[in-house]
């Protein structure tokens, strides 16, 4: 199990204090997938760095299978495998097999055990036929698979993944998710992701983060219950607070997809349809008013249904 207790991280930037995490509390249960979701800079990567002992918290603590990241760093590292966005740590001229053997040896595996485990994890992620190909010739999808293979070398019970499908094409992302599904139920996985459909497909629990604070967490069904009924409405005027719910606009006004409880913030509207809430609705409700320059360069609030 993974847990965070009042986890806080404060950075100094140009003489100012910047709070990256503000008393974050959560748990990720054994053998489940938990997803961290939030805008860029919300604190997702900072959480993963603390859990992997790459940085230390300013206050509070986090635990991996009962081991404290501030007091039991070595035991935490023995219990985790880490998959990060940038995988430049591989040696470009070495083959996939040689890379894995090298990293396995750094984790005190004997040469024979390193070779055996490297073959096993390459087979598991579907890279056996490319085991003797230099890393420099790998596609982005293959690089991600090799990163996952490396994280599995010592068969750790916990996997930490920072946007594991970022930059992958549609097919590669699907294949990677299938691999994660095979691990589901066998590993405790904490991952960050910007792809909401991916989170809906994989995650047992979702943690929504905004400006270093957790603003919502639970299963998808629990989060749906928290926002209540969702309706599509048409209106000719709206406040800044309601702008995040826009899904389309025309010369006649705006179409909003909005939780029913928020309708009191509209002076006039016409209900078009009642819809089943999804993770898009949950995200927009809890996090969606963040500035667009932290998202994808669009002028309207974020609603993402992409892979």
Taking the C-alpha atoms of residue 148 and residue 138, their distance in angstroms, rounded to an integer, is 14
- Domains of the chain (ranges; CATH) run 2-218 (3.40.50.300), 225-294 (no CATH)
For position 299, what pLDDT does the model report?
A: 35
Q: What are the CA-CA distances from residue 299 to residues 69, 77, 145, 153, 259 (Å)?
A: 40, 42, 35, 44, 22
For position 86, what pLDDT does the model report?
A: 65
Taking the C-alpha atoms of residue 235 and residue 257, their distance in angstroms, rounded to an integer, is 11
Taking the C-alpha atoms of residue 183 and residue 222, their distance in angstroms, rounded to an integer, is 24
For position 13, what pLDDT does the model report?
A: 83
For position 264, what pLDDT does the model report?
A: 92
Query: β-strand 59-64 against 67-68: which pairing, if any?
Result: antiparallel
For position 87, what pLDDT does the model report?
A: 58
Q: Which residue, chain included where needed, has tokens 């992302």? A: 173
What's the pTM value of the predicted model, to 2 decimals?
0.90
For position 219, what pLDDT does the model report?
A: 98
For position 15, what pLDDT does the model report?
A: 85
Kindly give the parts of the chain with pLDDT less than 50.
291-307
Q: What are the CA-CA distances from residue 226 to residues 28, 175, 204, 283 (Å)?
A: 20, 32, 16, 12
Taking the C-alpha atoms of residue 217 and residue 221, their distance in angstroms, rounded to an integer, is 11
For position 29, what pLDDT does the model report?
A: 97
For position 238, what pLDDT does the model report?
A: 84
């Amino acid at each position: 199990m993974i847990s965070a207790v009042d986890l806080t991280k404060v950075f100094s930037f140009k003489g100012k204090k910047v709070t990256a995490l503000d008393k974050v509390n959560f748990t990720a249960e054994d053998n489940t997938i938990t997803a961290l979701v939030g805008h860029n800079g919300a604190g997702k990567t900072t959480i993963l760095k603390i859990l992997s002992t790459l940085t230390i918290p300013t206050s509070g603590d986090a635990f991996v299978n009962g081991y404290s990241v501030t007091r039991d760093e070595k035991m935490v590292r023995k219990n985790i495998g880490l998959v990060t966005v940038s995988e430049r740590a591989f040696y470009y001229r070495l083959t996939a097999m040689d890379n894995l053997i090298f990293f396995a040896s750094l984790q005190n595996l004997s040469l024979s055990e390193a070779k055996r485990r490297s073959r096993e994890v390459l087979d598991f992620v579907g890279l056996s036929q490319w085991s003797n190909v230099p890393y420099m010739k790998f596609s982005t999808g293959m690089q991600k698979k090799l990163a996952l293979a490396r994280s599995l070398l010592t068969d750790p019970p916990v996997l930490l993944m920072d946007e594991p499908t970022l930059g992958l094409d549609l097919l590669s992302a699907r294949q990677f998710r299938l691999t994660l599904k095979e691990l589901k139920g066998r590993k405790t996985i904490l991952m960050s992701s910007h792809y909401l459909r991916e989170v809906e497909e994989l995650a047992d629990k979702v943690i929504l983060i905004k400006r270093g604070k957790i603003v919502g967490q639970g299963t998808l069904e629990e989060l749906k219950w928290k926002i209540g009924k969702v309706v599509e409405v048409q209106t000719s005027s709206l406040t800044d607070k309601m702008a995040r719910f826009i899904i389309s606009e025309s010369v006649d006004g705006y179409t909003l997809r909005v939780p029913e409880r928020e309708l009191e913030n509209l002076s006039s509207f016409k209900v078009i349809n009642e819809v089943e809430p999804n993770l898009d609705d949950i995200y927009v409700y809890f996090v969606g008013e963040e500035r667009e320059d932290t998202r994808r360069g669009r002028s309207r609030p974020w609603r993402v249904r992409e892979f």
